[in-house]
């Protein structure tokens, strides 16, 4: 038995703490507990109201067993078509604008002033919630699908341009350099050196964004920016839970189809 | 090698063969037509006069909105606190439910409970055939736990938190509680999906090694699986918290508590100086949220 | 004593990994299991502790038929079989000490293990084993901070703290450099001798096997086709196991050059 071993044997072993400094560890625990007490304490739950609402909740669940597609079918149909239309147009336009911005926001391609400008646009687009943008655009452009289309196009830029720019920054330098060394112009270089490397990802992200845009288009109607959301809101206001169920089933089904499609296509191109 | 013979009987090189090219052309054409039709529908429903008038209206609103009504900030204290609580407590509740759901949904940890034979007989024949066609397995051996867990994930995830809020306001009444529930429910599917993907990617050798020591099922979980998914778990938690901060700022629009309530109120009375202040506050909250989550994620990795 | 009787494993895909394997490993004997990739070496030792369920046949450890045990009995018997893995299979994000103590999981209850409150005797034994494999100073390091050789030493300590009757060793040196490989093989064989353990060591490095063990078993497409001492491993035998190749050089270089010095 070595001398060193004697120091260890007989002593209890405890797992080293995640935060080694006991002061910080205990402050963190105390702060968390105090916060939780305060936060939960500030919740004002009227259990009586909840109890009364349970009956509606039950009707909502029952609504799913007998969804009513028929009585408001024309409203549902128009709303769904409008949502789909907003989704398609905003995704296409959003992608078209995102590509140049992504090129500008990739530090290995763009000069500094362009880089900062494009990164600025991306940050603004990401920081603003879609619903808030929609409210402002409805105020400016009036009610209707145009506001929804503009909102989602703008939101697509922040999402797609950021991820695409990161992908361009991660690309294989030697491939791009090889194309440049042939004496290609800047556009040729982007076409032959950069595009092939980021294309699979661009396709994958675009389809993913199509999926997101559809989900978002379903709520834009709540603030008057077109789509199925308006129909849904009306149904909720009238407590027509069977119609609500019908609309939600259609949304979930569409989302599932889109998700399956996007998974399939992404698996194909990558 | 795709190539064709041109008029001078010389082989020229092409990227794709003829059918491939036709297919691509048709695809692009179809997409263009679809876009055009969609666009025309939007255009039909737009009063273009308003569109071209928009810069004037925007300038008008902008002029009214500035300067923001600074003193209004003192009445925003409680709404901001509520918003923060909805996001934080909502994330905690969602995670406690998402963890078991994720374990039930992941292929490698989902318990393989077979269907009871009586239930099997109650299921229509065509569903049996469908399941067999899709999974290549008998309905009995597919089990029921995983499909149920996946159903929970898909249904909570596909519906936006604003819609959940709308529903819950009509069930439990307007207020913070409805918002909290909406955020929690929406986050379950999101967190559970990312988590079960992380569980499916773990290194099975480590699990096997713990199993080989004679550990029980729960011990294998705690020693073999949990340490491997802990970083992913922490990342998902802060990621979703960040998103929840954003989403909880607008829940008030449908009456589900938080700062969105003040936004809605100010918009209704066209109090633009208050609106601009609230938007500023929301923007700062979102930026702080993103900053914290980025810091925490960097610390984990 | 470990005894395999007509052990057979057919995978769902229809591949027959083992067919009618009979093998006896007396107490304290270390055997090397050699054979080409896909011969069934890995399947064989996994069938013994039932990480893979055999299709038919028996695996009997000191009179207990492991193949017929229920979940609880299987856990109890697994405690008596320490396993050492090719890619170490340490839980990377746990500390060295936790990895070693995880070898006691079969002996302690869930809450004790969850709270990491192992009995003092287990903790002491863990320290002793870490000292024996030369890693005492690393006890609270995280497993993914260690080098390959160090990780395998932790893996050995984890297997030994189970207080096993037999060691199942799956390609212990496949991910290690030649020098570390020898050190690890020597350590395993020494520990088996010290503790009177039987061991089955899967190994594809014939040279290394012949250096350290007294009995070699050759496996080819799920059948035992050789069982004897290293001396009996002639070029003809190796050809029948691995196929045509010049085996003279392999056999001649067997000379144990002892080097001390740990990584």
Note the ipTM here: 0.85
- Tell me the pLDDT band of C258, cut-offs 50, 70 and 90: very low
Which CATH superfamily does the domain covering A73-269 fall into?
A: MetI-like (1.10.3720.10)
Task: Indicate the pairing of strand C30-34 with strand C215-220.
Answer: parallel
- The neighbour count for residue B8, using CB atoms within 10 Å, is 6
Residue B24: count other Cβ atoms within 10 Å of its Cβ: 12
Which residues in chain A have Cβ-Cβ distances shorter than 8 Å to B45? Answer: 144-146, 226
Half-sphere exposure of C152 (CA within 13 A, CB side): 25
Give the largest Cα separation in chain B, rounded.
83
For the four alpha carbons of B47, B162, A232 and A207, in that order, the dihedral sign comes to positive
* Chains touching B, CB cut-off 8 Å, 3+ pairs: A, C
- Give the 3-state secondary structure of residue B213: coil
Residues of chain B with pLDDT under 70: 1-16, 113-143, 301
**pLDDT one-digit tens code per residue, C92-128:** 889 999 999 999 998 988 888 888 889 999 999 999 9
Q: Reply yes or no on whether the pLDDT at C70 is more than 60.
A: yes
CB contact under 8 A, C90 and B222: no
First to last CA, chain C: 34
Question: Which sign does the torsion angle of CA C190, C194, C195, C197 carry?
Answer: positive
Which tokens in the block code for residue B36?
């055009």
B215 touches C at CB < 8 Å: yes
For residue C161, the model assigns a pLDDT of: 92
Distance of CA C216 to the CA centre of its chain: 14
C99 touches chain A (CB under 8 A): no
pLDDT at A199 over 50: yes
Pick the closest to residue A157 from A198, A196, A118 (CA basis). A118
Interchain pair A9, C139: CB under 8 A: no
Cβ neighbours of B53 in A, within 8 Å: none
pLDDT band at A64 (very low <50, low <70, confident <90, very high): confident
The two tokens of residue B19 are 């059918």
Cross-chain residue pair B253–A223, CB shorter than 8 Å: yes
Rounded distance between C-alpha atoms, residue A21 and residue C95, angstroms: 19
CA distance B291 to B294: 5
Q: Which of C102, C140, C146 is nearest to A17 (CA)?
A: C140
Cβ within 8 Å, pair C162-B222: no
pLDDT of C260 > 70? The answer is: no
Q: Which two tokens mark B34?
A: 């679809």
- pLDDT, one tens digit per residue, over A104-147 is 888 877 788 888 898 888 888 887 888 888 988 888 888 888 88
| Residues sharing a CB contact under 8 Å with residue A138, sequence separation 6 or more, in sequence order | A147, A223, A224, A225
- Least CB–CB distance from B205: residue in C85, C102, C158: C85
Q: How far is CA C160 from CA A121, C33, C83, C195, in A?
A: 61, 20, 9, 9
pLDDT value of residue B158 = 81
pLDDT of residue C252: 58
Nearest to C136 among A8, A10, A14 (CB): A8
Contacting residues of A for C137, CB less than 8 Å apart = 4
Whether the predicted pLDDT of C256 surpasses 50: no
Test B160 with A86 for CB contact under 8 angstroms.
no
**Interface contact flag, C95 A16, Cβ < 8 Å:** yes
Residue count of chain C, please give it. 263
Compute the mean pLDDT over every residue in chain A, rounded to the nearest whole number: 84
DSSP sequence for C8-36: EEE-TTS-EEEEEEEEEE-TT-EEEEE--
For C86-96, give one letter per residue: b (16+ CB within 10 A) or e: bbbbbbbbbbb
CA A53 to mean position of chain CA atoms: 31
Q: Which of C81, C107, C110 is facing B218, going by the closest CB pair?
A: C110
Q: Do C127 and A9 touch (CB under 8 A)?
A: yes
Inter-chain residue contact B223 with C83, CB threshold 8 Å: no
CB contact under 8 A, B211 and C94: no
Place of tokens 């989550």: B293
> In this predicted model, what pLDDT tens digit does every residue of C164-175 receive, in sequence order?
989 999 988 888
What number is the average pLDDT over the span A47-56?
82
B34 to A88: CB separation less than 8 angstroms, yes or no:
yes
Domain positions in chain A: 9-40, 73-269
A176 touches chain B (CB under 8 A): no
Give tens-digit pLDDT for A152-190: 999 999 888 888 888 888 777 777 777 777 777 777 877
Residues of B within 8 A of A57 (CB-CB) are 171
CA B38 – CA A81 distance, rounded (Å): 9
Return the DSSP state at B253.
Answer: G
pTM of the predicted structure, to 2 decimals: 0.82
Rounded Cα distance, B281 and C9, in Å: 67
Which residues does chain A have within 8 Å of residue B31's beta carbon, measured at their own beta carbons?
92
Residue B296 is predicted with a pLDDT of: 83
Residues of A in contact with C124 (CB under 8 A): 9-10
Cβ under 8 Å to A: C residues 105-164: 116, 118, 120, 123-124, 126-128, 131, 136-137, 139-140
pLDDT for the residue C169: 92
């Amino acid at each position: 038995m070595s001398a060193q071993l004697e120091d260890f044997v007989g002593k209890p072993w405890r797992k080293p703490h995640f935060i080694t400094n006991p002061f910080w560890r205990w402050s963190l625990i105390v702060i968390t507990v105090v916060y939780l007490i305060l936060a939960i304490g500030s919740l004002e739950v009227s259990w009586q109201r909840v109890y009364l609402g349970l009956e509606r909740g039950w009707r909502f669940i029952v609504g799913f067993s007998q969804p009513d597609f028929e009585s408001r079918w024309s409203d549902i149909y128009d709303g769904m078509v409008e949502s789909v239309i907003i989704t398609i147009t905003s995704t296409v336009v959003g992608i078209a604008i995102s590509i140049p911005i992504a090129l500008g926001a990739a530090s290995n391609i763009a000069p500094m002033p362009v880089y900062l400008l494009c990164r600025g646009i991306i940050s603004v687009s990401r920081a603003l919630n879609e619903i808030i943008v929609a409210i402002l655009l409805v105020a400016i452009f009036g009610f209707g699908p145009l506001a929804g289309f503009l909102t989602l196009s703008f939101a697509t830029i922040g999402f797609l341009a950021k991820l695409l720019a990161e992908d361009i920054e991660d690309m294989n330098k030697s491939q791009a350099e090889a194309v440049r060394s042939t004496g290609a112009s800047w556009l040729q270089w982007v076409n032959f050196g950069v595009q092939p490397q980021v294309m699979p990802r661009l396709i994958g992200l675009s389809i993913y964004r199509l999926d997101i845009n559809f989900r978002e288009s379903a709520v834009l109607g709540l603030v008057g920016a077109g789509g199925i959301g308006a129909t849904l809101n009306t149904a909720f206001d009238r407590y027509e839970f069977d119609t609500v169920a019908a609309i939600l089933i259609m949304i979930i089904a569409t989302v599932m189809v889109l998700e399956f499609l996007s998974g399939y296509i992404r698996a194909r191109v990558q | 090698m795709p190539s064709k013979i041109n008029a001078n009987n010389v082989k020229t090189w092409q990227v794709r063969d003829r059918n491939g090219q036709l297919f691509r052309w048709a695809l692009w054409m179809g997409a263009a037509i679809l876009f055009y039709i969609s666009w025309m529908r939007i255009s039909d429903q737009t009063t273009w006069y308003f569109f071209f008038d928009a810069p004037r209206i925007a300038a008008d609103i902008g002029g009214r909105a500035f300067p923001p009504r600074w003193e209004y900030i003192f009445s925003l204290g409680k709404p901001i606190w509520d918003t923060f609580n909805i996001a934080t407590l909502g994330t905690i509740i969602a995670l406690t439910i998402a963890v078991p759901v994720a374990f039930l949904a992941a292929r490698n940890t989902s318990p393989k409970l077979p269907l009871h034979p009586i239930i099997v007989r109650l299921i229509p024949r065509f569903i049996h055939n469908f399941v067999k066609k899709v999974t290549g397995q008998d309905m009995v051996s597919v089990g029921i736990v995983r499909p149920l867990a996946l159903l929970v994930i898909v249904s909570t995830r596909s519906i936006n938190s604003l819609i959940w809020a709308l529903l819950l306001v009509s069930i439990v009444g307007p207020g913070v509680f409805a918002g909290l529930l909406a955020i929690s429910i929406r986050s379950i599917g999101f967190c559970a999906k990312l988590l079960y993907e992380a569980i499916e990617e773990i290194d099975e050798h480590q699990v096997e090694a713990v199993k080989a020591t004679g550990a029980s099922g729960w011990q294998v979980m705690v020693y073999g699986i949990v340490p491997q998914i802990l970083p992913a778990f922490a990342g998902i938690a802060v990621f979703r918290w960040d998103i929840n901060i954003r989403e909880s700022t607008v829940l008030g629009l449908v009456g589900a508590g938080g700062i969105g309530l003040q936004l809605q109120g100010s918009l209704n009375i066209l109090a633009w100086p208050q609106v601009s202040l609230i938007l500023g506050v929301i923007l700062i909250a979102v930026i702080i949220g993103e900053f914290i989550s980025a810091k925490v994620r960097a610390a984990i990795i | 004593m470990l005894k395999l009787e007509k052990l057979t494993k057919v995978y769902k895909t229809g591949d027959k990994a083992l067919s009618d394997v009979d093998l006896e490993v007396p107490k304290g004997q270390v055997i090397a299991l050699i054979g080409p990739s896909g011969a069934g070496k890995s399947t064989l030792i996994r069938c013994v502790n039932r990480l893979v369920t055999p299709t038919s046949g028996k695996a009997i450890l000191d009179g207990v038929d492991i193949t017929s045990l229920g979940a609880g009995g299987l856990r109890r018997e697994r405690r008596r079989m320490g396993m050492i893995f090719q890619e170490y299979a340490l839980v990377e994000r746990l500390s060295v000490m936790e990895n070693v103590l995880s070898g006691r999981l079969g002996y302690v209850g869930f809450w004790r293990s969850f709270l990491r409150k192992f009995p003092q005797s287990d903790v002491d034994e863990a320290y002793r084993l870490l000292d024996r494999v030369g890693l005492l100073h690393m006890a609270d390091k995280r497993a993914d901070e260690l080098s390959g050789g160090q990780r395998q030493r932790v893996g050995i300590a984890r297997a030994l703290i189970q207080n096993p009757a037999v060691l199942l060793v799956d390609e212990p040196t496949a991910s290690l450099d030649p020098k570390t490989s020898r050190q690890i093989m020597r350590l395993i064989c020494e520990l088996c001798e010290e503790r009177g353990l039987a061991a089955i060591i899967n190994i594809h490095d014939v040279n290394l096997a012949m250096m350290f063990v007294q009995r070699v078993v050759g496996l080819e497409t799920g059948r035992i086709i050789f069982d004897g001492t290293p001396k009996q491993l002639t070029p003809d035998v190796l050809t029948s196991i691995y196929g045509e190749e010049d085996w003279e050089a392999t056999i001649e270089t067997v000379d144990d050059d002892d080097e001390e010095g740990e990584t």
